[in-house]
Amino acid sequence: MQNNFLLPALIFLPILTGFLCWLIEKVDERFPRWIAFIGMFATFLITVGLWQKGGFIGSASQVLAPTDKPVWLAEFSLPWVEQLGIHFHLALDGLSLLMVSLTAFLGMMAVACSWGEITRRVGFFHLNLLWSLGGVIGVFLAIDLFLFFFFWEMMLVPIYFLIAIWGHNNGGKTKEYAATKFFIYTQASGLIMLVGILLLVMINANTTGKISFNYMDLLGTQLGALEYPIMLMFFIGFAVKLPIFPLHGWLPDAHAQAPTAGSVDLAGILIKTAAYGLLRFVLPIFPQASADFAPIAIMLGGIGIFYGAWLAFMQSDIKRLLAYTSISHMGFVVLALYVGTLMSLQGLMIQMLAHGLSSAALFIMSGQLYERLHTRDLTLMGGMWGQMRYYPPLLMFFSAALMGIPGTGNFIGEFLILMGSFATNPVAVIFATFSLVWAGLYALIMIYRALFGETTPTIEKVAPMKRMTAREASILLVLAIGLVWLGLFPQNFLDTSDHSMQWINQAYHGVSPEVVIPSADVGSTQVTDEPFAHLEVK
Whole-number pLDDT of residue 457: 75
User: Measuring CA to CA, which residue among 96, 77, 95, 97 is closest to residue 87?
Assistant: 77
Cα 497 to chain center, whole Å? 15
Question: How far is residue 536's CA from residue 84's CA, in Å, rounded to a whole number?
Answer: 11
Mean pLDDT of 187-195: 93
3-state SS assignment for residue 525: strand
DSSP element (H, E) containing 88: strand 86-92
List CB contacts of 445: < 8 A, sequence separation 6 or more: 313
Mean pLDDT of 292-321: 88
Annotate 224-256 with b (16+ C-beta within 10 A) or e (fewer).
Answer: eeebeebbbbbbbbbbbbbbbbebbebbbbbbb
Dihedral of the alpha carbons of 245, 250, 255, 259, in degrees to the nearest 10: -150
Whole-number pLDDT of residue 1: 54
Whole-number pLDDT of residue 134: 95
Dihedral of the alpha carbons of 271, 272, 276, 277, in degrees to the nearest 10: -10
Query: DSSP class of residue 527?
Result: E
Give the chain's radius of gyration (CA, Å): 22
Q: Which residue has the higher pLDDT, 263 or 442?
A: 263
Torsions phi, psi for 49 (to 5 deg): -65, -40
CA angle 529, 534, 538 (to 5 degrees): 140
Q: Give the lowest-confidence range in 55-69, 199-213, 218-232, 395-409.
A: 55-69
Whole-number pLDDT of residue 209: 86
- The letter for the amino acid at 208 is T
Other C-beta atoms closer than 10 Å to the C-beta of 285 total 24
pLDDT digit string (tens) for 40-87? Answer: 999 999 999 988 876 655 433 444 444 556 778 889 999 998 888 899
Other C-beta atoms closer than 10 Å to the C-beta of 32 total 28
Residue spans of the domains in the chain: they are: 293-512
* 276 pLDDT more than 60: yes
Q: pTM of the predicted model, to two decimals?
A: 0.89
What is the DSSP annotation of 298-359?
HHHHHHHHHHHHHHHHH--BHHHHHHHHHHHHHHHHHHHHHH--HHHHHHHHHHHHHHHHHH
CA angle 148, 152, 155 (to 5 degrees): 135
Q: Which residue has the higher pLDDT, 207 or 455?
A: 207
pLDDT digit string (tens) for 338-390? Answer: 998 899 999 999 999 999 999 999 999 998 888 888 888 888 887 777 777 78
Mean pLDDT of 497-517: 71
State what percent of residues in the chain have pLDDT above 90: 46
Other C-beta atoms closer than 10 Å to the C-beta of 387 total 18
Other C-beta atoms closer than 10 Å to the C-beta of 198 total 16
Mean pLDDT of 153-166: 91
Mean pLDDT of 150-176: 86
CA angle 424, 430, 433 (to 5 degrees): 120
What angle, rounded to 10 degrees, do the helices at 391-403 and 342-373 form?
150
Question: How far is residue 372's CA from residue 386's CA, in Å, rounded to a whole number?
Answer: 15
Whole-number pLDDT of residue 64: 47
pLDDT digit string (tens) for 483-501? Answer: 999 999 999 899 888 888 9
Other C-beta atoms closer than 10 Å to the C-beta of 271 total 25
In the predicted model, what is the mean pLDDT of the chain?
85
* 294 pLDDT more than 70: yes
User: Measuring CA to CA, which residue among 185, 240, 480 is closest to residue 360?
Assistant: 480
- The letter for the amino acid at 154 is M
Whole-number pLDDT of residue 357: 94
User: Measuring CA to CA, which residue among 21, 61, 75, 17 is closest to residue 43?
Assistant: 17
* 518 pLDDT more than 50: no
